[in-house]
Amino acid sequence: MEGEGKDIFGEEPVPGSSTTVKEYLRKYLSFWPLFVLSLGLCLCGAFFYIRYAVPKYMVKTLILVKGGNNEGHSSQDLIAKTFNGEIKEDVENELQLIKSRGLMEQVVRKNQFNISYYKTGNVRNVDIYNDVPFILTAQEIRDSISSSMMILKKITNEGLTIVYGTDASKTSLAIKWNTPFIVNEKLFKITPRGRTFNSEDVFMVTWNPVNQTAEELSNMLSAEMLDKKTSIIKLELLVENLKRGKDILNAIAREFNQSDIDEKNSISDKKIRFIDDRLSIMYNELNGVEGNLENYQGNNQIVNVATQSNQSFGNSNDVSKSLTDIGIQQGVVEMIQSYFNNSNTEGKLVPSSLGINDATLSTLISRYNELQLKKQRETPLLGTSSPLLQDINNQINDVKGSILESLQNITKNLKLQENSLNQKNTQYSQFLSALPHKERVMQEIKRKQSITEGLYLYLLQKREESSISASSSNVPIYKQIDVATGYGPVEPNTQNIWLYSIVLGLFLPVAIISMRDLLNDKIIQRRDITSRSSIPITGEISHIRKRKTNGLHVMDRGIIAEQFRILRTNLSFLQKNKSKRVMLVTSSVINEGKSIVSLNLAAVLSIPGKKVALLEFDMRNPGICKNLDTEKEKGLTNYLTGQSKNLSELFFTVDELPDLHIYASGPMPANPADLLLNKQMPGLFEELKKQYDYIIVDSPPAAVVTDAFILDEYSDAVIYVIRQQQTLKKQLDFINEASRTEKLKNISFLVNDVKTSSDGYDLSSNFAYGTIKKRSFWKRIIPFTKESYA
């Protein structure tokens, strides 16, 4: 469509620059009363907190961990490890021990830190620790899980009055000193510390369960290493009463040392009892082992097992060696027999006897080899049937038979020798096999004797060591370097509280304003339009305050009049080639100021002497005549329905602007949209264009009814009115769609009801309506309030 995406000069719009720091500051500074109020409330809150908060003090002390006492035990000392455990060398373990629940409960129970004394006041109660003229003692506690609170007043030399219970049911009890009394199933007694009492003093005493107080103190206690290079533990405690905090830390150090001493004494006692029991057992076992050794040696006639076993072992070795030699000879005999029995070795020489000590065999083998050599020499000279060669073969066969027979005899002889030696070896083996068993039995008896004797001697040694170490077990491995010291108060931190209150006082308004902007869904700033639509902005009209007026604001030299003149100048660039200009003025919903814009736009166009017709086509809710406080019985409705043919009967003028003819809407028709489709509509506009230089059409809201789309057919340009703080951002999507589909042609925006900034910043700038100024303070904070438009 023509003009879409361009400004009023027909050029592409320049992208808006980002918001500057000055504009952000101006936006927030316009809410300076909110900042003053927030800062004042936060500072008042800080003052009352500092004034009435209970001061807290920091108490600290140092404990030296001297290291574990190994009591002379080596790393292999099983008894020491059993009772002492590993040597303590890690200070981190000590940190956990000193903050343990059991240790803290012991501290609370022994020192009665679960009983607190307070001096009552108008606003707060002050912890006075033991600075009271009496002391409360718990005699019997039946209910140990609930706390008890008592108010003590009317204190005299004879006694006092105790008040306890809830606000709904309080119980008052007058008692005498040292007289037991029951409160919440707990039996208490109050003992005076002096004879000077003030009957006007009122005290509050609370008794809490030991475990509850121990848990509270553990949460307040801080334990850490003083330095990585040392083994010193630093204890810090944040308390309301400085003397109470010092006593608590000193009691923790004492109980920590005493717990170590008690643990060592307990270990020493258990160790000595254990050693005594084991000594008695070891003594009886040692006597029994020695008697068994004596009986066994006598029954088995064992003098010296080593000598007897060496002699038998030597004889057995000799027999084994002989058996080995016989086995070798048997192997050689078998090898020679195999050689002769092998057909592949026939005619070859026989190796020597290979260590067989038999002269006959050696002679036969030598004779056999000679015959073989002779045969080898004679065979080439003699024929195979030669008698000489046959004789040699016969001799060889005879010698071979003799050798085999000799080998059989040798085998029988070796077998006999082997049997004899095996028999002897069996005798020696039986003898030697009996010795290990006897020796093993004796070794077991002696081993048991040695172990029992060693344990007995070891226990005797440890018995003496334990007796000596028990006398020095009251020396702990911990040492409190200095008694607890304190300083403060550290809470409340006045400087930080004032600083935080100032920061909070400044942050809350910023958060409220930012949340307001975040929740706002209406158009406030120019970039709310330019970021969502490319339709140009023709002009901006400032907020018009309520006042008695005829609706015309262009008859003076005020800012509103100047803005309409700027609008007139900007519109002169639209449709500059057309002799007649028909401008349709519409908006999204009612109360966006389109009627007042139409009236003043028509007025400013007529001031130079131009003939201008203002058509009040918003027949459902006519606003032009209402603003002019004028009633006109006849109007456009009469003309379109044919009741009137003369246009001069339908308009009226105002005295200041004779060239401005205002055509009232006339009687409200049954269906205005159907009336706009009347056949008289084209003739109406043709007649008006002949008579007037400008025609301004005030149409109904485009997002509510279709009248504006029907009237767009007769218009040259559309001025779409957007009202700041009323037009929704999402309605821009509707306008963009109407422009894209050409339901409305040649659209430009007019921003109405712009609230000027505090420094009178020029509204024609890109940031003319970035800061709200001309509204009430609370309406600027809450973006959902409405201000009526004059």
Give the DSSP letter string of 703-753: TT-SHHHHHGGG-SEEEEEEETTTSBTTHHHHHHHHHHTTSS-SEEEEEEE
List of domains in the chain: 115-207 (2.60.200), 305-470 (no CATH), 526-781 (3.40.50.300)
How would you classify residue 488: left for phi > 0, otherwise alpha for psi between -120 and 50, otherwise beta? left
221-225 and 159-165: which strand pairing? unpaired
Q: Please write the tens of the pLDDT for every residue from 607-625.
A: 999 999 999 999 888 888 8
How does pLDDT run across 630-639, given as a tens digit for each residue?
Answer: 888 888 998 9
Percent of the chain at pLDDT above 70?
Answer: 82
State how far the Cα of 505 lies from the Cα of 40, in Å rounded to an integer: 7
The least confident of 27-31, 561-565, 723-727, 772-776 is: 772-776
Distance CA 552, CA 790 (A): 11
When mean pLDDT is compared over 41-45, 170-174, 399-403, 478-482, the highest value belongs to 41-45
Is the pLDDT at 10 greater than 60? The verdict is no
pLDDT tens digit sequence for 187-220: 999 999 876 778 788 999 999 999 999 999 999 9
Mean per-residue pLDDT for 697-702?
93
Closest CA to 597 of 762, 748, 771: 748
Cβ neighbours for 50, distance < 8 A, ≥ 6 positions apart: 492, 494, 497
In 3D space, the residue among 89, 65, 489 whose CA is nearest the CA of residue 235 turns out to be 65
Lowest mean pLDDT among 50-54, 222-226, 366-370, 682-686: 366-370
**750 with 566: CB under 8 angstroms?**
no
Q: Choose the weakest-confidence range: 47-61, 265-279, 361-375, 735-749.
A: 361-375
- Determine the residue type at 11: E
Mean pLDDT of 461-486: 76
In the block, residue with structure tokens 């373990």 = 93
Question: Helices 21-29 & 494-519, crossing angle to 10 degrees?
Answer: 100
Residue 38 contacts residue 509 (beta carbons within 8 Å): yes
DSSP class per residue in 488-520: EEEES-HHHHHHHHHHHHHHHHHHHHHHHHHH-
269 or 681, higher pLDDT: 681
This model's pTM is above 0.75: no
Percent of the chain with pLDDT over 90: 27
Least confident of 688-697, 703-712, 750-759: 750-759
Q: Report the relative pairing of strands 478-491 and 56-65 from DSSP bridges.
A: antiparallel
User: Does residue 604 register a pLDDT over 90?
Assistant: yes
What mean pLDDT comes out for the span 430-459? 74
Distance CA 365, CA 358 (A): 11
Phi-psi region of 543 (alpha: psi -120 to 50; beta: other; left: phi over 0): beta
Q: pLDDT value at position 275?
A: 80
Residue with tokens 């101006």: 26
How confident is the model at residue 607, as a pLDDT? Answer: 92
3 state SS of 23: helix
pLDDT digits (tens, 9 = 90+) for 255-287: 988 888 888 788 878 888 888 887 788 778 777
* pLDDT tens, residue by residue, 336-364: 777 777 766 676 677 665 667 677 777 77
Instruction: Specify the pLDDT at position 692.
Output: 93
Among 36-45, 107-116, 345-354, 752-761, the range scoring the smallest mean pLDDT is 752-761
Sheet holding 203-207, edge to edge: 126-127, 115-119, 203-207, 148-153, 159-165, 170-176
Nearest to 618 by CA among 581, 653, 590: 590
> Per-residue pLDDT averaged across 732-756, rounded?
89
Is 144 strand, coil or helix? coil
Beta bridge partners of 170: 165
Q: Residue 735 is encoded by which pair of tokens?
A: 């306008």
